[in-house]
Amino acid sequence: MRRLADSGYVAGAIEIGALAFVPRPMLELGLLQPMRRVTAGTVAAVPLALRRGIAINLGGGYHHAHPELAHGFCLYADVPIPL
């Protein structure tokens, strides 16, 4: 998670080189916070699915990320986080 403080790292993970030049506060507000909100939606969907038998997070599915590595536009691995 500390690596997400580096715009260059984020740019590489998202595969958009120009993000390396975006100030960190702008990345936080425009990219990282929204991705964390989507991840929170996946976390919230799990107990709902257990209670009702189904739940969907239309914004979720950042499945390319790994616990130790963001990859292929995915900074947060939202699927395994709630597990």
Choice among 63, 64, 66, 71 that is catalytic: 64
> Catalytic residue at 71?
no
Report DSSP letters for 20-82, one per residue: GGS-HHHHIIIIIHHHHHHHHHHHHHHHHHHHHS----TT---TT-BTTB-BTTBSS-TTTTT
Catalytic residue numbers read 64
